[in-house]
């Protein structure tokens, strides 16, 4: 198909205006702004549903606990439990078939709060289940599934840590209003942005801390902030793109489709990816100008996100860019404290120091890092040995123009000084949360906390902890701006453009051959000097003036 298009190029080009004036009228593909009232969020093919949950007898009972609600749900949705227990929201575990690495929150160390492992009493608030606080959690009991955290629409449902933790911490979760479980159960619907956002907007321990492109600003965003989710635009729920089949979602952090070769697919197909191409196809720009043709050309090398997400951490909510655990553990009068030092776009204050975590740096409206990316993340896991004197990538990636699967992607870079076993040259499981005297959060003794965390899982620990500089890379894919805000050519086609440092390509406007330019300029200057000389001699020659 592409060659055919190519050979027709010369013919077709003749009929185009230099820039299209027609295309601006209907504003395609940017949807028109809709007027209030805001319609329900679009959740894909299931939008609208087939049942009214207020009419189900099974839900008209005074529920005493979450699992009781789950039992009622499963009494109708008979297979859902088995489906659900296969997904990553439940397993928190993922074996990468290509690298063989055992991933998932259950195992990984990140460079935010470091590790969920051993701290599930706190961290597993974001597990889609009830009561995971230690290794004894039963992953085969489907009544432990928490249906409501994703399907509640009342906004009254919430979760608290699965274990008490240190008294210094548990005080934060006291005094919350009781949940009317029957009301919540009868109000279920397809997940709204706020449902997913309860965890995904707060990754890393706070609003937009981790991803940079997923913040509470997306609960009710403008079209300008996110063209898909904007309430004055398409008003997509997350699942409009992260389409679901048997409670497994399209789109993976661990194996990203960095270059989609399939596009839209036939009706009913494509439940495997949440790529832009799965809706927009492989030639997304309507060819109404030469520039649009060239843009479609770029798709083989440049991810859609690169041009269409000019900046992340927009919408007034900052993201964290630097975290320094070295300063953690300072106390005042024997107690932990925190300091606000950053006021973000929406006026909210962010902590720049917390005794339990250290110092933070925030930023907003960030220009991403751009690199070739094949979609495959390689993690520094708990058993990876590395040189503690060098910055280490918590998740590294590769990619090149030549491998066929890579494109130039935007990334958020997170830089953290975090605890490590400097004797053995490994990362550590830090025992942050617990009722015992070793938990860092409450006792502030890093050595004890690490020793406890490593011992709990039978991991080798040299007894010598220190801090290492770590980097993590977060592909940016949300906060897609309307097309009028997309990058222009010269954002990259310029000497100091955004793709400075991206290798493996010849980029006109950015790349020059120094020597050729020098020779060319000398040749032109030389010609001018020769002409000038010739002309001057003519001018001052006795009979030369006329001829």
Residue located via tokens 């409009």: 240
Q: Binding another protein by CB under 8 A: which of 71, 280, 326, 401?
A: 401
Task: Please report how close the Cβ of residue 1 comes to another protein at its closest, in angstroms.
Answer: 12
Beta strands in 269-345 (DSSP E): 319-324, 338-343
* Beta carbon nearer to another protein, 334 or 542: 542
Dihedral angle computed from the Cα positions of residues 76, 129, 211 and 358, in that order, rounded to the nearest 10 degrees: 160
CA distance 458 to 464: 16
Contact 503, 445 (CB under 8 A): no
* 538 belongs to the binding site for another protein (CB under 8 A): yes
* 15 belongs to the binding site for another protein (CB under 8 A): no
* Beta carbon nearer to another protein, 124 or 292: 292
Contact 164, 122 (CB under 8 A): no
* 36 belongs to the binding site for another protein (CB under 8 A): no
Q: Binding another protein by CB under 8 A: which of 55, 176, 514, 547?
A: 547
* Beta carbon nearer to another protein, 2 or 385: 2
Task: Please report how close the Cβ of residue 291 comes to another protein at its closest, in angstroms.
Answer: 5
Q: Binding another protein by CB under 8 A: which of 32, 45, 520, 533?
A: 520
375 dihedral zone (left: phi>0; alpha: psi -120 to 50; beta): left
* 102 belongs to the binding site for another protein (CB under 8 A): no
Which x/- pattern, by CB under 8 A, does the window 262-301 give for another protein? ---------------------------xxx--x--x--xx
* 487 belongs to the binding site for another protein (CB under 8 A): no
Piece of the chain touching another protein by CB under 8 A; list 48-56, 58-66, 69-77, 485-493: 485-493
Residues 114-173 that bind another protein (CB under 8 A): none
CA distance 114 to 422: 16
* 501 belongs to the binding site for another protein (CB under 8 A): no
Residue count, binding to another protein (CB under 8 A): 53
Task: Please report how close the Cβ of residue 389 comes to another protein at its closest, in angstroms.
Answer: 35
* Beta carbon nearer to another protein, 164 or 487: 487
CA distance 451 to 453: 6
Contact 165, 441 (CB under 8 A): yes
- Full DSSP string of 467-513: EEEEEEEEE--SSPPPGGGSPPGGGTSSTTSTTTT--S---BTTB--
Question: What tokens appear for 177 in the block?
Answer: 């209003």
* 485 belongs to the binding site for another protein (CB under 8 A): no
HEC string of 362-417?
Answer: EECCECCEEEEECCEEEECCCCCCCCCCCCEECEEECCCHHHCCCEEEEEEEEEEE
* Beta carbon nearer to another protein, 262 or 297: 297
Task: Please report how close the Cβ of residue 533 comes to another protein at its closest, in angstroms.
Answer: 11
Contact 395, 524 (CB under 8 A): no
Task: Please report how close the Cβ of residue 422 comes to another protein at its closest, in angstroms.
Answer: 42
What pairing do the DSSP bridges indicate for beta strands 465-475 and 407-421? antiparallel
* 529 belongs to the binding site for another protein (CB under 8 A): no
* Beta carbon nearer to another protein, 335 or 519: 519
Q: Binding another protein by CB under 8 A: which of 24, 76, 511, 533?
A: 511
Task: Please report how close the Cβ of residue 538 comes to another protein at its closest, in angstroms.
Answer: 6
* 332 belongs to the binding site for another protein (CB under 8 A): no
* 533 belongs to the binding site for another protein (CB under 8 A): no
* 261 belongs to the binding site for another protein (CB under 8 A): no
Q: At 201, which helix (H) or strand (E)?
A: none
Count of alpha carbons within 13 Å of 65, Cβ hemisphere only?
9
Count of alpha carbons within 13 Å of 377, Cβ hemisphere only?
24
Q: Please, what is the Cα angle at 425 between 420 and 430, to 5 degrees?
A: 25
Task: Please report how close the Cβ of residue 307 comes to another protein at its closest, in angstroms.
Answer: 12
Q: Binding another protein by CB under 8 A: which of 8, 19, 21, 484?
A: 19
Nearest Cα to Cα of residue 205 among 10, 349, 351: 351
Task: Please report how close the Cβ of residue 105 comes to another protein at its closest, in angstroms.
Answer: 38
Q: Binding another protein by CB under 8 A: which of 367, 488, 500, 533?
A: 488
* Beta carbon nearer to another protein, 471 or 489: 489
Which phi and psi (to 5°) does residue 125 adopt? -55, -30
* Beta carbon nearer to another protein, 415 or 493: 493
**Peptide bond before residue 406 is cis, with ω within 30 degrees of 0:** no
Task: Please report how close the Cβ of residue 367 comes to another protein at its closest, in angstroms.
Answer: 18
Instruction: Using CB under 8 A, list all residues that contact another protein.
Output: 2-3, 6, 9-10, 13-14, 18-19, 289-291, 294, 297, 300-301, 401, 404, 488-490, 493-495, 504-506, 508-513, 516-517, 519-521, 523-524, 527-528, 531, 534-535, 537-538, 541-544, 546-547
């Amino acid at each position: 198909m592409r060659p055919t298009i190519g050979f027709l190029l010369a013919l077709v080009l003749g009929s185009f205006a230099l820039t299209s004036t027609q295309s601006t009228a209907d504003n395609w593909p940017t949807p028109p702004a809709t007027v209030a009232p805001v319609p329900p969020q679009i959740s894909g093919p299931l939008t609208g549903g087939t049942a009214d949950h207020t009419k189900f007898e099974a839900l008209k009972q005074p529920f005493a606990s979450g699992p009781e609600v789950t039992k009622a749900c499963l009494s109708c949705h008979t297979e859902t439990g088995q489906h659900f227990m296969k997904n990553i929201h439940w397993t928190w575990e993922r074996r990468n078939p290509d690298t063989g690495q055992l991933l998932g929150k259950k195992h990984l160390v990140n460079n935010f709060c470091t590790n969920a492992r051993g701290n599930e009493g706190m961290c597993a608030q974001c597990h889609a289940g009830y009561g995971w606080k230690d290794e004894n959690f039963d992953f085969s009991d489907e009544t432990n599934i928490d249906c409501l955290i994703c399907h509640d629409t009342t906004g009254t449902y919430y979760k608290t840590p699965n274990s008490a933790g240190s008294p210094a911490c548990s005080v934060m979760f006291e005094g919350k209003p009781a949940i009317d479980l029957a009301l919540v159960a009868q109000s279920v619907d397809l997940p709204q942005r706020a449902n997913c956002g309860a965890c995904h907007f707060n990754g890393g321990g706070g609003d937009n801390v981790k991803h940079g492109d997923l913040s509470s600003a997306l609960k009710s965003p403008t079209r300008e902030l996110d063209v898909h989710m904007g309430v004055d635009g398409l008003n997509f729920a997350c699942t409009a793109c992260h389409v679901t089949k048997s409670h497994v979602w399209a789109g993976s952090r661990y194996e990203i489709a960095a270059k989609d070769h399939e596009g839209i697919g036939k009706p009913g197909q494509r439940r495997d990816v949440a790529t832009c191409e799965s809706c927009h196809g492989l030639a997304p720009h309507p060819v109404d100008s030469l520039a649009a043709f060239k843009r479609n050309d770029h798709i083989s090398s440049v991810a859609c996100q690169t041009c269409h997400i000019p900046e992340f951490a927009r919408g007034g909510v900052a993201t964290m860019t630097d975290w320094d655990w070295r300063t953690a553990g300072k106390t005042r009068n024997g107690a932990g404290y925190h300091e606000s030092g950053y006021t973000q776009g929406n006026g909210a204050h962010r902590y720049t120091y917390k005794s339990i975590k250290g110092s933070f740096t925030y930023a907003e409206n960030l220009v991403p890092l751009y690199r070739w990316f094949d979609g495959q993340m390689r993690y520094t896991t708990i058993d990876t040995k590395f040189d503690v004197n060098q910055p280490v990538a918590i998740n590294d990636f590769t990619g090149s123009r030549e491998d066929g699967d890579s494109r130039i992607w935007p990334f958020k870079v997170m830089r953290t000084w975090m605890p490590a076993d400097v004797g053995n040259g490994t990362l550590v499981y830090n025992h942050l949360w617990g009722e015992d005297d070793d938990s860092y959060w409450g006792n502030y003794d890093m050595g004890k906390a690490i020793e406890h965390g490593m011992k709990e899982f039978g991991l080798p620990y040299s007894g010598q902890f220190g801090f290492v500089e770590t980097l993590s890379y977060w592909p940016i894919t949300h906060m897609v701006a309307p097309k009028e805000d997309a990058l222009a050519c010269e954002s990259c086609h310029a000497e100091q453009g955004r793709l400075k440092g991206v290798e493996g390509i010849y980029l006109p406007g950015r790349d020059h051959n120094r020597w050729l330019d020098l020779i060319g300029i000398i040749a032109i200057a030389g010609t001018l000097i020769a002409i000038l000389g010739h002309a001057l001699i003519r001018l001052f020659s006795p009979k030369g003036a006329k001829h």
